[in-house]
């Protein structure tokens, strides 16, 4: 229970269905002060105290037990340190997918058992569905009914063992229906805004050292200006570059070894292939031959057709029919067959 409307309604629906429900919130904020700068609510930050109180009140309203489990050290080592290391190495990470796999549906489960909780399933307020395929003998991860809220992209790395004990009560509901249900139950979070970011506002506070400025260069190595730290730049970015140019400039790469941001023109950020590694397959045990699937290269990207060809057990070549904008190393790629997640991995660096 995050203290938001989705996990609150998930708990309510499960209780209504006859489950014995215990609400659990994982405490992840370690007190690091953050500059919010007027943006939306985030899952990591000082608002956590308010969220915990909201979750506690919902549990009281529903008449279910409630616990807070401290995972600040695990969250720092698994998510925050990874987040910083990836950005400082010139990559753009996806902390939410990593948190789901290792912390939320990993460490939290272990700590809950250590705390004496006895349970058969873990449930969350994610918009997704899990089915078991008798023919494949595998648990399948499928898109939610409300495609606009679907969160399977962030769940691609879950194992068969994790999926086997997961319940996603919201999978067949729309967001509007969830808010209506919350109102029906008299939950005070019915109109609470959704969390929009991993960290609200400026996330520079979580980095271990002050940003190191360096050169902004074109593809030929000509210095055009200075950046404020490579962790603040990602492929496809055009705002905040501060360099004079007759044509709009875009970040096309970051070079950690040279502490440089490389810029080019719009056509430079379109590519039609990349390599993905650190693969996790859900709808199949592995990939033995080339297959045409739909590929999604970021959470806001509409998946498009691509030929996925195995290179070895740990990597695949992904080739699109049409070039795609801002394929970003470090980000997640998820492969779909209609509404089913086939698997996914991490986008690797490619030469300019």
DSSP character string of 183-195 = HHTT-TTTTPPPP
* pLDDT per position as a tens digit, 208-259: 888 899 999 999 999 999 999 999 999 999 998 989 877 899 999 999 999 9
User: Are 342 and 281 contacting, i.e. CB atoms less than 8 angstroms apart?
Assistant: yes
Q: What CATH number was assigned to the domain covering residues 212-264? A: 2.30.30.280
What CA–CA distance (Å, rounded) separates 106 from 124? 13
Q: Does domain 270-347 have CATH number 2.40.30.10?
A: yes
CATH topology of domain 5-184: Rossmann fold (3.40.50)
* pLDDT per position as a tens digit, 27-45: 999 988 776 555 557 788 8
Q: CATH 2.40.30.10 region(s) of the chain?
A: 270-347
Dihedral sign, Cα of residue 342, residue 347, residue 350, residue 352: positive
**Confidence class for position 67, pLDDT limits 50, 70, 90:** very high
Residues 6+ apart with CB under 8 A from 39: 196, 197, 200, 201
Q: CATH 3.40.50.620 region(s) of the chain?
A: 5-184
What CA–CA distance (Å, rounded) separates 213 from 233? 12
Q: CATH 2.30.30.280 region(s) of the chain?
A: 212-264
User: Are 78 and 27 contacting, i.e. CB atoms less than 8 angstroms apart?
Assistant: no
Residue 315, pLDDT > 60, answer: yes
Q: What is the pTM of this model?
A: 0.94
What CA–CA distance (Å, rounded) separates 347 from 335? 12
User: Are 76 and 207 contacting, i.e. CB atoms less than 8 angstroms apart?
Assistant: no
What CA–CA distance (Å, rounded) separates 29 from 22? 22
pLDDT at 339: 98
């Amino acid at each position: 229970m995050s203290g938001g409307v989705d996990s609150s309604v998930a708990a309510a629906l499960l209780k209504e269905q006859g489950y014995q429900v215990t609400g659990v919130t994982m405490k992840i904020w370690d007190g690091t002060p953050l500059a919010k700068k007027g943006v939306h609510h985030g899952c990591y930050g000082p608002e956590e105290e308010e969220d915990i109180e909201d979750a506690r009140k919902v549990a009281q309203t529903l008449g279910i037990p409630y616990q807070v489990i401290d995972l600040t050290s695990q969250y720092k080592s698994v998510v925050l340190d990874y987040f910083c290391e990836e950005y400082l190495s010139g990559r753009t990470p996806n902390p939410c997918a990593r948190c789901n796999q290792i912390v939320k549906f990993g460490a939290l489960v272990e700590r809950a058992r250590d705390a004496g909780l006895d349970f058969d399933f873990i449930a969350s307020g994610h918009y997704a569905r899990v089915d078991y395929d008798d023919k494949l003998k595998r648990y399948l991860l499928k898109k939610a009914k409300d495609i606009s809220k679907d969160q399977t992209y962030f769940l691609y790395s879950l194992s068969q063992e994790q999926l086997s004990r997961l319940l996603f009560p919201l999978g067949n509901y729309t967001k509007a229906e969830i808010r209506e249900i919350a109102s029906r139950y008299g939950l005070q979070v019915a109109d609470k805004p959704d969390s929009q970011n991993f960290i609200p506002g400026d996330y520079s506070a979580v980095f271990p050292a002050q940003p190191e400025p360096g050169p902004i260069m074109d593809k030929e190595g000509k210095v055009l200006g200075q950046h404020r730290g490579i962790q603040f730049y990602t492929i496809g970015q055009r705002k905040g570059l501060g360099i004079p140019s007759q044509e709009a400039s875009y970040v096309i790469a970051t070079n950690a070894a040279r502490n440089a941001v490389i810029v080019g023109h719009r056509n430079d950020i379109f590519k039609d292939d990349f390599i993905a590694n650190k693969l996790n397959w859900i709808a199949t045990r592995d990939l033995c031959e080339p297959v045409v699937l739909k590929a999604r290269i970021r959470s806001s990207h509409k998946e498009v057709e691509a030929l996925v060809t195995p290179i070895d057990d740990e990597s695949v070549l992904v080739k699109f029919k049409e070039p795609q904008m801002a394929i970003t190393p470090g980000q997640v790629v998820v492969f779909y067959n209609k509404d089913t997640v086939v698997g996914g991995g991490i986008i690797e660096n490619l030469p300019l």
